[in-house]
């Protein structure tokens, strides 16, 4: 289990203990108990310290930071998880699945899928008082996306500090092939329909994401700038779900269509598959 990289020696014991619990769940393939046993309720700063430690461990292993995800922006998803505010996590290079790609069986522990708008940046956003106009100017294009969320915590038994510590329940993500400039789309009015095995399983609109995916991106840009770790040119930003997330099982096929943006899909390998996948 990860636990001997340099960042660990600088972390308080409670942070290392919770980070180790989550890291062992990944290594063993067995979900762990909630980390709120280590982190006090409402101690969001410690939860983010746990997230940061495990991400630093993964970076030390050779993965690259490629962007950020915003979680819990949809009221529907907030109701599902019993929370009332967004959070954020890191996107690393091994989380990328290509359009229509295959997720190997066993790659994730408890996957669920949600459709959202992704932004790809071509400029940094270093200012904590940046504006929507700054976010628009820094965005090269928008693209339809599927986020495959996962929880290292058994049965998705999570509170806010649990999901924050667990890298905002990140898993994998898929970007569609169609790239649309922001002056060609109204992200508030886009409509989303996501199917599972050909049947509609989730629907929503851009307004479901904090009123607009741009509002979510602005929230993230300001938070990260305040923390001294701002969004950078080239970053992918998953702005948050447009509708409820849907449980994924071996063999499932998900496809989402977002009006004005296009389509995106992903396949989950059947349980009998022993090979495949497309991660870095």
Query: What is the pLDDT, as a whole number, of residue 191?
Result: 98
Residue whose tokens read 């701002």: 230
Residue whose tokens read 């943006």: 261
| Alpha-carbon separation of residue 116 from 21, 86, 160, 175, 260 (angstroms) | 30, 14, 21, 10, 13
- Output the 3-class SS for 118-180: EEEECCCECCCCCCHHHHHHHEEEEEEEEEEECCCEHHHCCCHHHHHHCHHHCCEEEECCCCE
The Cα angle at residue 216 between residues 147 and 95, in degrees rounded to 5: 25
Query: What is the pLDDT, as a whole number, of residue 5?
Result: 40
> Radius of gyration over alpha carbons of the chain, in Å?
18
Evaluate the CA torsion angle 32, 36, 38, 42 in order and state its sign: positive
DSSP 104: P
**Can you list the domains of the chain with their CATH numbers?**
64-268 (3.90.850.10)
For the purposes of burial, counting CB atoms within 10 Å of the CB of 242, is it exposed (0-12), middle (13-18) or buried (19 or more)?
A: buried
Cα distance between residue 234 and residue 121, in whole Å: 5
Query: What is the pLDDT, as a whole number, of residue 182?
Result: 98
Query: What is the pLDDT, as a whole number, of residue 41?
Result: 79
Query: pLDDT tens string for the chain (280 positions)?
Result: 333 344 565 789 999 999 999 999 999 999 999 999 899 878 999 999 999 999 999 999 999 999 999 998 877 666 766 677 899 999 999 999 999 999 999 999 999 999 999 999 999 999 999 999 999 999 999 999 999 999 999 999 998 999 999 999 999 999 999 999 999 999 999 999 999 999 999 999 999 999 999 999 999 999 999 999 999 999 999 999 999 899 999 999 999 999 999 999 999 999 874 444 444 4
Query: What is the pLDDT, as a whole number, of residue 80?
Result: 62
């Amino acid at each position: 289990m990860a636990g001997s990289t340099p960042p660990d020696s600088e972390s308080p014991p409670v942070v290392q203990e919770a980070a180790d619990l989550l890291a062992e769940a990944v290594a063993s393939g067995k979900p762990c108990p909630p980390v709120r046993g280590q982190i006090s309720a409402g101690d969001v700063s410690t939860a983010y310290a746990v997230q940061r430690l495990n991400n630093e461990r993964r970076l030390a292993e050779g993965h690259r930071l490629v962007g950020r995800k915003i979680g819990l922006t949809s009221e529907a998803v907030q109701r599902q998880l019993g929370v009332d505010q967004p959070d954020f996590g890191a996107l690393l290079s091994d989380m990328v699945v290509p359009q229509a790609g295959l997720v190997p069986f066993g790659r994730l522990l408890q996957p669920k899928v949600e459709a959202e708008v992704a932004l790809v940046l071509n400029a940094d956003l270093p200012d904590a008082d940046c504006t929507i106009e700054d976010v628009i100017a820094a965005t090269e294009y928008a693209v339809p996306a599927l986020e495959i969320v996962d929880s290292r915590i058994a049965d998705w038994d999570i509170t806010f500090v649990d999901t924050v510590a667990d890298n905002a329940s990140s898993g994998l993500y898929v970007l569609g092939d169609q790239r649309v400039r922001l002056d060609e789309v109204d992200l508030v009015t886009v409509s989303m329909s996501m199917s599972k095995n050909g049947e509609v399983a989730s629907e929503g609109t851009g307004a479901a994401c904090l009123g607009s995916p741009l509002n979510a991106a602005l929230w993230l840009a300001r938070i990260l700038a305040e923390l001294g770790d701002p969004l950078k040119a080239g970053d992918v930003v998953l702005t948050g779900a447009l509708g409820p997330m849907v449980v994924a099982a071996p063999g499932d096929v998900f496809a989402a269509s977002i009006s004005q943006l296009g389509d995106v899909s992903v396949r989950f390998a059947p349980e009998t598959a022993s090979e495949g996948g497309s991660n870095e």
